[in-house]
Structure 1
Amino acid sequence: MSAADPMLEAERVLRICSACMYCDGLCPVFPAIDGKHGFSLSDVSYLSNLCHNCQGCWHDCQYAPPHPFAVNLPATFAELRQRSYAEHLWPPTLGRAFRASSLAVPTTVALALLTTFALVLSTGSTEMLFAADAREGAFYRVLPWPAMAGLAGGTFAWAVIAITLATLRYWRTIAPGGTISEILRALPVALSDIITLRHLGGGGPGCHDDGERPSHRRRILHHLTAGGFVLSGLSTIVAAAYHHLLGVAAPYPVGSLPVMLGLVGGVTMTVGAVGLLGLEARADREPSDRGETRLNVAFLILLALVGASGLAVLGFRSTPAMGLLLSTHLGLVFGLFAALPFSKALHAPFRAAALLRAAIDGNRRASAQAPEAAGDTP
C-alpha cells in the first residue's frame, strides 16, 4: 500500500467496487457493500476482516493496475486489518507490540525459552537434560509438574483473556445492533462459514495462491493447521485427565489416547503450517501488504516449530535427547501462548465476529425482501 491514508484509499476503492459490483458472488464483502456510497471507520474495520484474502477480486477486476483507477482491494484490506488488530488489542498498550510483532513474537518466544531452561536448571534437573529416562513421570523430572502447569496455565489464561477482550472490543465497533434473537438466528450460518472456511473458496474455484490459477490448497492447509492445533490441545486435556483422574504420569504409551491425539495433531499442524509458508513464499506481492506477510510468516514459523518439536519429543523420548527436546518444546509452547494476543492469531476471532455480522445482515436483507416478493405475487 502506498496511499498516505489507508482509510481514504479504502473509501475510494470501495466506492468504485460498490458502483461496479462485477465481483459480486466472489465473497461476502460485495453483498455487504451493495448499494452503499459512504463507508465509516467501523464499516471498513468490518469489511477488511470479512475479506478472506482469496484475491479473486484482484484477478477479476477490470480497474486493477495499470488502469488509472488502480483498484487493489486485497492490499487495502490487508493494511486495514492490521490497523483493526492494533486498535482493539487489550490491554491497549499491546498495540505497540503488535505493530512491531515481527520482533515482538520472536522476542517473547526467546524469553519463554530462557525462562523454561532457567527453571529446569534452578530445580536441580540439570542432569535430566542429557539423560535417558523412559520411566513413568520422566517429564516431571525434567521440569517439575507445578512449574510446568503454572507456566502453561498462566500463559494460556493470559492468551484467552486478552484475545477475548480484544474480540469484544472489536465486536462493539462493528456490531450492527439488534436483539439477542437476531444473533442466535444468525449463529448457525456464521458457525458453518467459520468451520468450513467456505469463503476461502473464492466464490467456488479457490484462492489465487499461484497467479491466475485458483486452487483449494490454502483452504485445505488452513484446515490442517487449525485441526492440528485443536487436536494438540485435546491431547493436553486428555493427558491432564490421565494425570489427575487416573493417577498416571507422563510419558504415556505410544498407543494411548493422549499420545495418538498429539501425534496426529502435531503432524497435521506442522504440515499445514509448512504448506502455508510455502504459499506465502510464492505469493504475488502486489495484492498483499508486507506487514501482513511478516505477521503470517512469524506465526506460521512458530506453529511449525511447536508441532515439530512435539514430534521430536515423541520420537526421541527414550534417548538422552529427551530432556533437551522437552525443555525446548515446552518453551516454544509457553512462548506461543504468551504471544498469541499480538500475533496473526487474532485474525481468527476477528474474522469470526465479521462473519457473524455478515450473517445478521444477510438475515435482515432476506426479511426485507420477503414482503416485496409477497407483494409481487398475483
Structure 2
Amino acid sequence: MSFDTPALMQEARRQLEICNACRYCEGFCSVFPAMTRNKAFADGDISHLANLCHNCRGCSYSCQYIPPHEFALNIPAALAEVRQDSWERHVWPAPLARAFHERGLVIMLVMVAAITAFFLALHGRAPGEGEGFYAFVAHNTLVAIFAPAFLLPLVGVAIGLVRYWRETGGRRIALADLAGAFGSAARMRNLSGGHGEGCNFEKGDRYSDARRHAHQAMMYGFLLCFAATSAGTLMHYLLDWPAPYPIWSPPKVFGISGGVLMILGGVWLALLKLRADPDLGARRVWGGEMAFVVLLVLIAASGMALYAATGTGAVPALLAFHLGTVLAFFVLLPWSKMVHGFFRLSALIIEEQKKRR
C-alpha cells in the first residue's frame, strides 16, 4: 500500500459520512446516489466512489460545509487523492506511477528526447528500404520496437484492473452492465454534473459544458487515430497494401480528422486546467496530468506536421520526433493519466452492477 493510503481513506470516509447525512447534493452526479447505498464505507467502497467521481466540482461550490466551516469538506480533492492513490497502488509496478504523476513533465520530455535521438541514429546507421516512411525506418524494425512497447504496458494495466475489481466488489459482467457503462462514457454524462446543465470545473459557481466537450474531442480524436492505425495494419497484412496510403483511404481520413480533434481537445483541456482551482483536485499530481495532455497534443501535432512535410527534407527529424512521442505514450501508459480511462470505465461497469443488486 502507499504510505499515506490509510490517512487518505480515513479523511475521505469522514467527509463522505458527513455528505451522506446531509444529502443536499444527492442529484448532482453518479457519486451521490451511489453514496446513499451505504451507512458505513469500507475502503473498497471509497475507491469505487473516487473512480466514479469525474471531478466536476459542483458539490464543492454548492456545499455549506466547506472551509471556513469546522467540517472543512472538500469532496473533490478528497476523492481525487483516493482515486490517484488507487491507480498508484494497483497498477504494476506501482513505484513508477507515483514517480510519473509527481514529476511527469520532466520524465516525459526526457523520454521523448531520448527516443527521438534513438530513431535519428537508427536512420543514420540503418535506413529503411521501403516507400514513404519505411524509407527512413524499416517496417520490421518498427514492429519489433512498438509491439512489445504497446503490449507489455497493457499487462501492468490489466494487473491493476484485476486488483481494483477485487477491492471494489466487481462481479461477472453482463451485457446490461456494458451497455450502461459504455453509454455513460460515450456521452460523458458525469462531466455534465449529472443534471445536464454542465459542471463547475473552471467557472466556480457557474455551469459549463466546456470540459465535457473538450474531453469528447480528445477521446473521439484518439479513437479515430487508433482506428487509423488499426485500418493501416489490416490493409498491410490482409490486403497486402503497405503504406503510403492515398488521402481518401481509411488511415488518412481517420488519422487527419482524429489528429485535428486531439489538438483542439488537448489545447482546450490545458487551458481549462490552467483556469481551474488546483485545491479542488490532487494538487501533487497537477504536473503529471498536464504532462499527459501535452504529450497527447505533441503526438497529434507531430503527426499532422509529418503528413504536411511529406516529400521534404524535414521528414526524418519529424518522423523521429513523432515516433518518440508515440513510443513514450505507450511506455508510460500504465502510469500516466491515460490509466484513468480504464479505471473510470471499470467503475461505471461496477456501478451498473451495484444498481441491480
TM normalised by structure 1 equals: 0.87
Gaps of 5+ in 2: none
Q: Aligned to 2:197, what secondary structure does the other structure show? A: coil
Residue 148 of structure 2 corresponds to 154
1:206 lines up with 2:198 in the alignment? yes
The residue aligned with 1:41 is 43
Aligned residue-pair number: 351
* Distance across 2 between alignment mates of 1:328 and 1:46: 38
Q: Decide whether aligned partners of structure 1 residues 202 and 292 sit closer, same or farther in structure 2, where only a CA change above 3 A counts.
A: farther
CA contact (8 A) 2:101 2:336 kept: no
**2:291 corresponding residue in structure 1:** 298
Gap runs ≥5 in structure 1: 129-135, 365-378
Q: Percent identity?
A: 38
108, 113, 121: which one aligns with 1:110: 113
Runs of 4+ in 1 over 4 A off after TM superposition: none
Q: Distance in 2 between matches of 1:108 and 1:284?
A: 29
- Give the C-alpha shift of residue 161 in structure 1: 2.2
Determine if contact 2:221/2:259 at 8 Å carries over to the other structure: yes
Partner of 2:217: 224
**2:263 maps to 1:263:** no
**CA distance in 2: counterparts of 1:101 and 1:171, whole angstroms:** 28
> Residues 125-183 of structure 1: CA distance to partner in whole angstroms, max 9, x if unpaired?
6xx9xxxxxxx712111111111122221211123222122112211111255xx3x74
Contact residue 210 and residue 284 of structure 1 kept, 8 A = no
Q: Cα 1:162–1:115, aligned 2, differ >3 Å: closer, same or farther?
A: farther
What CA distance in whole angstroms lies between the structure 1 residues aligned with 2:303 and 2:33?
Answer: 43
CA-to-aligned-CA distance 1:175-231 (integer Å, 9 cap, x gap): 255xx3x74443321221122211111022111122221111111111111111111
Distance 1:216 1:99 in 2: 26
Query: Structure 2 vs 1, CA of residues 185 and 64 (structure 1 numbering), >3 Å: closer, same or farther?
Result: same
**Structure 1 264/8 Cα, relative in aligned 2: closer, same or farther at 3 Å?**
same
> Following superposition of structure 1 onto structure 2, how do residues 366-377 of structure 1 map, counting pairs within 5 Å?
none
Whether contact under 8 Å (2:127, 2:137) holds in the other structure is no
* CA radius of gyration, larger in: 1
> Which stretch of the first structure deviates more once superposed, 195-204 or 274-283?
195-204
Q: Equivalent residues in 2 for 1:183-332 (5 A)? A: 183-203=174-194, 204-208=196-200, 209-332=202-325
Output the aligned Cα RMSD: 2.2
In 2, Cα distance between the equivalents of 1:284 and 1:198? 22
Q: Distance in 1 between matches of 2:87 and 2:176?
A: 27
Q: Which secondary structure state, in structure 1, belongs to the residue aligned with residue 207 of structure 2?
A: strand
Q: Among 56, 62, 65, which residue is 1:63 paired with?
A: 65
Distance of 2:49 and 2:285 partners within structure 1: 16
Q: Name the counterpart of 2:12.
A: 10
Corresponding residue of 1:97: 99
**Mean CA deviation greater in 97-106 or 310-319:** 97-106
User: What amino acid is the match of 2:323?
Assistant: L
- Is the deviation greater in 184-193 or in 48-57? 184-193
Task: Please give the secondary structure, in 2, of the residue aligned with 1:359.
Answer: helix
Shift of 1:114: 3.1
Deviation sequence 1:93-150 (CA, Å, 0-9, x none): 534534545244444333332332232223146xx9xxxxxxx712111111111122
- Give the C-alpha shift of residue 61 in structure 1: 0.6
